[in-house]
Chain A
Amino acid sequence: MNTLTFRRAAVALVVLLSAVSAHAQIAVRGETVHTMAGASIRDGVVLVRGGKIERVGPASSVKIPKEYRVITARVVTPGLVDAHTVVGLSGYLNQPHDQMQLERSSPMQPELRATDAYDARERLIEWLRTLGVTTIHTGHGPGALVSGQTLIAKTTGAEVEDAVIVPFAMVAATLGDSAIMEGGRAPGTNAKMVAMLRGELLKAQEYDRKWQAAKEDQKPARDLRMEAYARVLRREIPLLVTAHRSQNIVAALRLAKEFNIRVVLDGASESYLVVEQIKAAGVNVVVHPTMYRAAGEAENLSMETAATLRHAGVTVAIQSGFEPYVPKTRAVLFEAAVAAANGMTFDEALAAVTIDAARVLGVEARVGSIEAGKDADLALFDGDPFEYTTHVTTVLINGRVVSEEKR
């Protein structure tokens, strides 16, 4: 066999094997299965087939077919959903060439697509995957008034096309100090930020009105920026507003009302001061990492904020956020754990990184709970998932084992 033939054979074998594993039939048996759809199951079984969850229930009623590979664990949860991160754009090395989450050449660039910058092979994505994180909402980060678009992806796949499940999830905006431009450029104040954003949205309303009113052959020239805002104005996607100070949070709520747009609050360190307003506005919150550093605009953050919001009836997700330095990312598994020790119940904290996070992202029909028909994304643990000394033992995405590292 010459080298070329050998290579071809090897490639064929790999393709064959991956095809087999893609359609692998797996039974996950857990001493406790937290389905996040009803009560958790003692001695539960999750049957996985064709990338989807086939069936879930107690071992006494769910028979495991002979041909299924059985994987056991102390605890099984849905694959974790990170409601806001920048991994894939903000890389592991933290060098200029791998920091693609923020472009500050101008303050408002909603036309920047996350899909054009997402590096599916980034090492931080692999890291999060081994910690049970299977779905991420990532893209352009905080730090500009409108920094760009976000996407939702699975933490698997070699290229963005393999990974992405929602290519344009939200438009990312920031109200607060980090969006201030230097050197006398606008915006230089928080009030100016709101004025500029209102101006843009007014323009976009007009653009969208003209576009919709025009006959097919008389459409006005396309404007990528206006197109992105128009999707927000049509309530097809939310505006993700990173705001930590209470005055910036209520400014975001004011915008939501004025333009009848969907806003998702992000960070929201001082949200506990304006819980009633947030609740009245019906806005969901992707709260800062529980262990986020309390400094600058986030100096007043509390580890109990996720609990405070949740107990007030607000839908809360916990994020890993953006880290400028060491470590370069956080992991929602760890952040939810500390939330569970600071006012949230175990179920509430787990929901904030599974089903509630999926709801905030609008992908709850596909991920976030263990139910028949949903994507077979699972995280397996050798103990209480939130305990510092527990390990993630196996991770499945779309029915395939993607990590068996004990971490």
Chain B
Amino acid sequence: MKKLLFLFFALACAAAPTRAQGERAVAYTGATVINATGQTISDGVLVVRGGKIVAVGTRSSTRVPEGAQVVDVTGKVIMPGIVDTHSHIGGAAGADGSAPIQPDVRVLDAVNVRDTSLMRARAGGITTVNIMPGSGHLLSGQTVYIKLRRGSTIEDLAIRDAAGNLAGGIKMANGTNPLRANSTGPFPDTRAREASLVREQFVRAQDYREKVRRAGGDKSKLPARDLSMEALAEALDGKRVVHFHTHRHDDILTAVRLSKEFGFRVVLHHVTEGWKVADEIARAGVPASITIVDSPGGKLEAVDARLETAAVLDRAGVLLAIHTDDYITDSRLLLRSAALAVRAGLPREKAVYALTLAGARMLDLQDRTGSLEAGKDADFVVLSGDPFSVYTHVLETYVEGVKVFDRSDRQDRLYATGGYGAGYGQHLDFECYAEREGGSQR
């Protein structure tokens, strides 16, 4: 019996897709290829081998390697895998209620990679995700960048940097979410206090970093390890990008001000009133990753939400990404969010860019993913038609050359459309928006 079991697992492992070098190339031919660069190739060819893109171009200009498996995708559309810079899939929470600033907390220690929300993200054509802790804190912890590979642990999915560390940023927030009315505890009750608490910690981190620098590698002179200071020092060194939840125009500029004071790299998230301060954001050279909801209301800070925000920021010259903030918008419908931005004036090629390469740039992953270019990871989506048409469906999603979603598969389709068991274990948790007072939650 044991032998049988072993055999079963050995076979199961053998059947699992591998990405070994020298693997047979696969050529996807005949599709309209929409690239992040604004280029559209009709009757295109995409050649993939060993999880990487080998070539992409027109049929006449692109050599299909001998012996390659040819997949005819005539009539379909291929676009780069979507990069979601802001999501709460995986059911993870970060910081707890004990303090407003908790840089030591890593969301990667809590992500459930079997959560059905990950299946829905694959069904939406998403291949790369920044999983974030919530926004009820000034700093709710470290985020984790993942590829939506099929795997059983966060390590299987996580993206590693050159040194082998799991990649991620830092989640910060300002405005009303981190506020606690009549606070007598550690949480702030005003915006100015929010900023001062953050500055205090970054000043400490500057000192910590200076001590480490002075030690010059001499272990006896190093300060005692402080996990929070380490994470903030990484932000000061530019190794961790700060993903900053911010809605109101003044809060947006406070986030910019803090990043300039301490020199940390920042991506503004939500940026609901960004249309009011688009030029200021552009002048600061700070990117914006926005949430697009199709109707207004529901949160005082977001009452001035406009569908035009994407177009306004783009026109001002701001690097623009569009994210889900899943559960605020559904990972299966991120293409729709971008389409609504197009409805409100964003050029189509900018909308494609905002879903792909712009996000990759915000996560420092632009050399690996976000566009269809030789040498990059084979992260792509096969669509039934125009990416911005309501009638279009994501047919297949590939991460590093491996198919992770197939609409023709019964189980995969269940996650695309919903149905019995598709939402198992899902709890409504408005991570990034939940106000602690006021707003009715019922």
Contacts and interface: CB of A to CB of B under 8 A. Distances in A.
A92 B423 contact: no
A321 to B, nearest CB: 12
A374 interface: no
B303 A388 contact: no
A300 B303 contact: no
Nearest to B438: A95
Give the dominant DSSP class at A's interface: loop
B383 to A, nearest CB: 12
Contacts of A347: none
A327 interface: yes
A111 interface: no
Contact of B420 (A94, A270, A388): A270
Nearest to B344: A407
Interface string A363-393: 0000000000000000000000011111100
Contact of A302 (B343, B392, B422, B441): B422
Q: By CB atoms of chain A within 10 A, which of B296, B333, B339, B392 has the most?
A: B296
A293 B299 contact: no
B296 A328 contact: yes
A123 interface: yes
Interface string A322-364: 0111111111001001101110000000000000000000000
B343 A102 contact: no
Interface in B179-211: none
Given A294-B418, A388-B342, A300 B295 contact: no
Q: By CB atoms of chain B within 10 A, which of A323, A328, A391 has the most?
A: A328
B336 interface: yes
A102 B441 CA distance: 12
A296 B297 contact: no
Contacts of A325: 298-299, 430, 433-434, 439, 441
A93 B297 contact: yes
Contact of A96 (B327, B333, B440): B440
Contacts of A92: 296-298, 303
Nearest to B294: A334
B328 interface: yes
B291 to A, nearest CB: 8
Q: How large is the interface on A (under 10, 10 to 19, 20 to 34, 35 or more residues)?
A: 35 or more
A385 to B, nearest CB: 10
A402 B390 CA distance: 27
A328 B336 contact: no
Contacts of A326: 293, 297-299, 302, 328, 430, 433
Given A295-B423, A296-B428, A325-B439, A391 B343 contact: yes
B419 A94 contact: no
Contacts of A342: 417
A124 interface: yes
B390 A324 contact: no
B116 to A, nearest CB: 8
Contacts of A227: none
Q: By CB atoms of chain B within 10 A, which of A96, A270, A273, A303 has the most?
A: A303
Interface in A294-327: 294-296, 298-304, 323-327
A-B pairs with lowest CB-CB distance, top 9:
A328-B297, A299-B423, A388-B339, A294-B423, A328-B298, A92-B297, A326-B298, A327-B295, A302-B418
Interface of B: 293-300, 302-303, 327-328, 330, 333, 336, 339-340, 342-343, 388-393, 417-428, 430, 433-434, 438-442
Interface of A: 91-96, 99, 102, 123-124, 127, 143, 178, 270, 272-273, 291, 293-296, 298-304, 323-331, 334, 337-338, 340-342, 386-391
6 contacts: A99-B440, A299-B423, A326-B430, A327-B294, A387-B389, A389-B342
